[in-house]
Structure 1
Amino acid sequence: MRITNKNFIPDRSRPGLTTTATGIVSRQGTGGNWATVGRRRKRRGGRRLQRRQGKEQCSLPHVPMEKEAFEGWLKLVSTSFLALNDQQRNQLLDHLISLSGAAQLQHLSSGLEALLKRDFLRLLPLELAFYLLRWLDPQTLLTCCLVCKQWNKVVNTCTEVWQGVCRDLGWRIDDSIQDAGHWKRVYLKAKFRMKQLREEDAFETSSLIGHSARVYALYYKDGLLCTGSDDLSAKLWDVRTGQCIYGIQTHTCATVKFDEQKLVTGSFDNTIACWEWSTGAKIQQFRGHTGAVFSVDYNDELDTLVSGSADFTVKVWALSAGACLNTLTGHTEWVTKVLLQKSQVESMMHSPGDYILLSSDKYEIKVWPIGREINCKCLKTLSVSEDRSVCLQPRLQFDGRYIVCSSDLGVYQWDFASFDVLRVIKPHQDPASPSLLSFGEVFALLFDNHHLYVMDLRSETITGRWPLPAYRKSKRGSSFLPGITSWLNGFDGKNDAGLVFATSMPDHSIHLVLWKENG
């Protein structure tokens, strides 16, 4: 540092300052300009004062408005806020958030969660909540039960929702039961049963052993199975226990039907006989056919028995007297099935409650009136093809409303009131040409040489199957039959039990397929 004034002496105790010989202190670099120094000090002091005043103001407690004044102010602000456009409102909210402290931000956070995540099951009336729940699939409904106690309560009180999902699975609904918890339990049971069907785990098998020759005649009713054999015997079995209840000596049996007191058999010897179970005695014999009798049916109320034969005729008999009342002609093939059933529909040919006779051969199904007129005319003839290029298969079915029979082209269903074909069912999967065992409102039971099939008639898809052994399959369909068929109209929680299918085997035993107990 260069000192031009020799009278200046550096002040060693205060760096940056010098002392003149007369004792005057001067700041180096300022040329002794005290006005400049004063202004700087004043600015620094002013800033310190402002910061100190700001802190004092922040530390002062807020004085709240009076309630009436605040309400008036809030009303004025609300009116002004509503006059703003969306952009201005958003800008105002951003500004308010920037001015908010921790308490306000916490309040805003909790309030936003309630606004953005509305619990509709709590807020909506039950009727609207139930309506929304109807659109959910069953698995989502079960998941909703796990959300909270309130959701579980709402879901478990929606009877119509659980009835709907049970109905979708093919369950029969009793509308008189309005307990949602009951239908939820039914759904869980139904879901498990359908899972068993898909995984080939719904059934189990058993065998009946007792005949010494081929078994060509089977009939099932109320837990009892009757078998007729070429060993000149007929046996009555308890399906549940596998025990033989009755065994009587008969003729060769091509077809059988029974009730609690009697057994009616059609034979390869061209005759029909009626037997008493308790004594084994022959009550009545019916002679007149010139070929084997392949099918019989009877009705005690009408005191009438009908039969179909290899002689191409259908005969009507007096059940108690054994006399032939009428012979119906028109078939050109063996008559393999006859059915005596009440009509349940109105048409030009019959009224509800009228008894109707159906007969079938390889190509045609004929509808007859029940009467004693000679040369009685056929009311209607049904066929799949006019040129007889397509054959009908065994197991003709008639419930008073619909006639159902399988063919090489699929399962045909006719409306009995109009005789129009309602539908032709061809499975979308194997089997390509299944044989019909039984047909219901919801399900159908089909089979081929290797498997038993459960078809959902609403989607016409196979929902379950079961492997079958190499059984003896007669062309007439007398050596195999369905068991309990009420479940085909919809499960009810009790009818999925007992016999499903029975067939005779080459070793003269009877192979049974039964429902497995639903655990």
Structure 2
Amino acid sequence: MEKVAFEGWLESVSASFLMLNDQQRNQSLDRLISISGAVQLRHLSNGLETLLKRDFLRLLPLELAFYLLRWLDPDTLLTCCLVCKQWNKVISACTEVWQGVCKDLGWRIDESIQDAVHWKNMYLKAKLRMKQLREEDAFETSSLIGHSARVYALYYRDGLLCTGSDDLSAKLWDVRTGQCIYGIQTHTCATVKFDEQKLVTGSFDNTIACWEWSTGAKIQQFRGHTGAVFSVDYNDELDTLVSGSADFTVKVWALSAGNCLNTLTGHTEWVTKVLLQKSQVESMMHSPGDYILLSADKYEIKVWPIGREINCKCLKTLTVSEDRSVCLQPRLQFDGRYIVCSSDLGVYLWDFASFDILRVIKTQDPSSLSLLSFGEVFSLLFDNSFLYVMDLRTETITGRWPLPAYRKSKRGSSFLPGVTTWLNGLDGKNDSGLVFATSMPDHSIHLVLWKENG
């Protein structure tokens, strides 16, 4: 009966349809098609609903699941970890995913560690640290008190800070505890450098001295400059000391004997920085392992070959303006591959193999913003009010920290960076210890340290 009734209804509809004009017939077809489409979509969605309820992470091969997960951003990954225990287990087991997000945050990756949970925890710590930098909560401050006159010179190494003062003393401090380890009587120090056994000081009295920490005795004295000595560096392997002075010269000394081996001329301004370093690259002028001396004044940087030979000629003079209209700031960095110096136009990066300018980083106010230290991932800069962390990949400021009114110095020796390995990429361990130190008008030393990040 149902079949007969349906057939009768169909014949009736068909007859009625044939009686319609073309316009009415087209409208009726469209209505039927739309009803049919809706029914089809309903049927399709009912089938898809069953499929969509399946756990694809559970059904897919693990390698394919890992591949898909690598397309997700870290915040989405963390949200997915909350879906269920199975998802958390799979996502937390994907080493490459968490290594990748750590790299994106500037974390250095030891790929020999294949523990996904380790890298997930590192990411969470890195995310917290970067958040602290943005919110000015990554650092803390302390002070070293003990000098009775202006502190002119600072030098940091392995958790120890050396200070040289106008009170005719030099002190060695444990930055972690704030305790003074050694205090010795010296001349007025314009610059200092030390190691475990000795301290080398350059003075406003035109001399250089080498002191023994344990006894405070003067081991050697170097006389010959006719102006204040603003910078010193030395190398025990070469038995060589170099110095830069207000007399526009650089002198090369025998470290143990104290005699002057050579006087390098050519500067027309105070020589405020000297650096002695091994070359790491090959060129027509030098080979890897050659000792290189860099000396800088207000307008130019000179490159000298320093070896066991006494005489040497300037290899290259680097400037940022031929007419001397742009000043170099009193910070110079050289790691054997690249030369970095800040100027009133921005931060300049030279390739040591070719002496070509590789990069110029222009800041909003380069004449007031000074370079402290330059790494592979981050750079540390400062002005009169703040300490800044710049992400060199984007050349944007990722964090800052307020600074008190510190003493200004045209020579740049009364402020310095502390631990700098984190500038090559955070690794979860090197964001600790001293970040920045500067002398204060009240003769104390202001310290900026990494805040404990649990």
Q: TM-score, normalised by structure 2?
A: 0.89
Please say which of residues 222-231 and 115-124 is displaced more in the overlay. Answer: 115-124
Contact 1:326-1:373 within 8 A present in 2 as well: no
In the alignment, the residues of structure 1 paired with residue 375 and residue 28 of structure 2 have an alpha-carbon distance, to the nearest angstrom, of: 69
Relative distance call for 1:71 and 1:310 in structure 2 (3 A) is farther
Secondary structure, aligned partner of 1:469: coil
The yes-or-no answer on 1:484 pairing with 2:419 is yes
Relative distance call for 1:384 and 1:494 in structure 2 (3 A) is same
In the alignment, the residues of structure 2 paired with residue 374 and residue 98 of structure 1 have an alpha-carbon distance, to the nearest angstrom, of: 96
Please say which of residues 286-295 and 107-116 is displaced more in the overlay. Answer: 107-116
How far has the Cα of 1:125 moved from its partner?
2.7
Q: Deviations over 1:98-143 (max 9, x none)?
A: 9999999999987542334554323333333222222211100101
In the alignment, the residues of structure 2 paired with residue 250 and residue 454 of structure 1 have an alpha-carbon distance, to the nearest angstrom, of: 36
Secondary structure, aligned partner of 2:110: coil
Please say which of residues 345-354 and 71-80 is displaced more in the overlay. Answer: 71-80
The yes-or-no answer on 1:509 pairing with 2:444 is yes
In the alignment, the residues of structure 2 paired with residue 195 and residue 352 of structure 1 have an alpha-carbon distance, to the nearest angstrom, of: 40
Relative distance call for 1:83 and 1:157 in structure 2 (3 A) is farther
Contact 1:410-1:433 within 8 A present in 2 as well: no
How far has the Cα of 1:432 moved from its partner?
6.8
Relative distance call for 1:323 and 1:70 in structure 2 (3 A) is farther
Please say which of residues 99-108 and 387-396 is displaced more in the overlay. Answer: 99-108
How far has the Cα of 1:453 moved from its partner?
0.2
Total equivalences in the alignment:
453
How far has the Cα of 1:354 moved from its partner?
1.2
Contact 2:230-2:271 within 8 A present in 1 as well: yes
Contact 1:170-1:490 within 8 A present in 2 as well: yes
Q: Deviations over 1:407-451 (max 9, x none)?
A: 00000000111111110012xx56774201001000000000110
Please say which of residues 493-502 and 131-140 is displaced more in the overlay. Answer: 131-140
Contact 1:328-1:375 within 8 A present in 2 as well: no
Contact 1:272-1:285 within 8 A present in 2 as well: yes
In the alignment, the residues of structure 2 paired with residue 378 and residue 497 of structure 1 have an alpha-carbon distance, to the nearest angstrom, of: 40
Q: Deviations over 1:463-513 (max 9, x none)?
A: 000000000021110000000001001111111111100000011110001
How far has the Cα of 1:218 moved from its partner?
0.3
Percent identity of equivalent pairs: 92
Contact 1:431-1:448 within 8 A present in 2 as well: no
Relative distance call for 1:86 and 1:168 in structure 2 (3 A) is farther
In the alignment, the residues of structure 2 paired with residue 286 and residue 134 of structure 1 have an alpha-carbon distance, to the nearest angstrom, of: 61
Secondary structure, aligned partner of 1:394: strand
Q: Give the unaligned 5+ runs of structure 1.
A: 1-64
**Which residue number corresponds to residue 187 of structure 2?**
251
In the alignment, the residues of structure 2 paired with residue 177 and residue 69 of structure 1 have an alpha-carbon distance, to the nearest angstrom, of: 76
Contact 1:402-1:413 within 8 A present in 2 as well: yes
How far has the Cα of 1:155 moved from its partner?
1.0
Relative distance call for 1:252 and 1:131 in structure 2 (3 A) is same
**Which residue number corresponds to residue 220 of structure 1?**
156
In the alignment, the residues of structure 1 paired with residue 121 and residue 104 of structure 2 have an alpha-carbon distance, to the nearest angstrom, of: 15
Relative distance call for 1:66 and 1:506 in structure 2 (3 A) is same
**Which residue number corresponds to residue 108 of structure 2?**
172
Relative distance call for 1:259 and 1:153 in structure 2 (3 A) is same
The yes-or-no answer on 1:433 pairing with 2:368 is yes
User: Higher relative CO (CA 8 A, sep ≥ 6), structure 1 or 2?
Assistant: 2
Q: Which has the larger radius of gyration?
A: 1
Contact 2:326-2:343 within 8 A present in 1 as well: yes
In the alignment, the residues of structure 1 paired with residue 443 and residue 17 of structure 2 have an alpha-carbon distance, to the nearest angstrom, of: 93
The yes-or-no answer on 1:122 pairing with 2:58 is yes
Secondary structure, aligned partner of 1:102: helix
How far has the Cα of 1:97 moved from its partner?
17
Relative distance call for 1:164 and 1:382 in structure 2 (3 A) is same
In the alignment, the residues of structure 2 paired with residue 182 and residue 119 of structure 1 have an alpha-carbon distance, to the nearest angstrom, of: 26
In the alignment, the residues of structure 1 paired with residue 18 and residue 106 of structure 2 have an alpha-carbon distance, to the nearest angstrom, of: 56
Relative distance call for 1:359 and 1:107 in structure 2 (3 A) is same
In the alignment, the residues of structure 2 paired with residue 270 and residue 280 of structure 1 have an alpha-carbon distance, to the nearest angstrom, of: 21
Relative distance call for 1:306 and 1:95 in structure 2 (3 A) is same
How far has the Cα of 1:83 moved from its partner?
32
Relative distance call for 1:78 and 1:131 in structure 2 (3 A) is farther
In the alignment, the residues of structure 2 paired with residue 465 and residue 294 of structure 1 have an alpha-carbon distance, to the nearest angstrom, of: 30
Secondary structure, aligned partner of 2:328: coil
Contact 2:290-2:307 within 8 A present in 1 as well: no
In the alignment, the residues of structure 2 paired with residue 512 and residue 224 of structure 1 have an alpha-carbon distance, to the nearest angstrom, of: 12
How far has the Cα of 1:66 moved from its partner?
27
Contact 2:139-2:401 within 8 A present in 1 as well: yes
Please say which of residues 112-121 and 383-392 is displaced more in the overlay. Answer: 112-121
Q: Deviations over 1:141-182 (max 9, x none)?
A: 101111222322221111111111101111010000011111
Q: Give the unaligned 5+ runs of structure 2.
A: none
Contact 1:326-1:372 within 8 A present in 2 as well: no
Relative distance call for 1:101 and 1:260 in structure 2 (3 A) is closer
In the alignment, the residues of structure 1 paired with residue 23 and residue 30 of structure 2 have an alpha-carbon distance, to the nearest angstrom, of: 11
Q: Deviations over 1:261-308 (max 9, x none)?
A: 100000001000000001100000001111110000001111110000
Aligned-residue Cα RMSD (Å) equals: 5.9
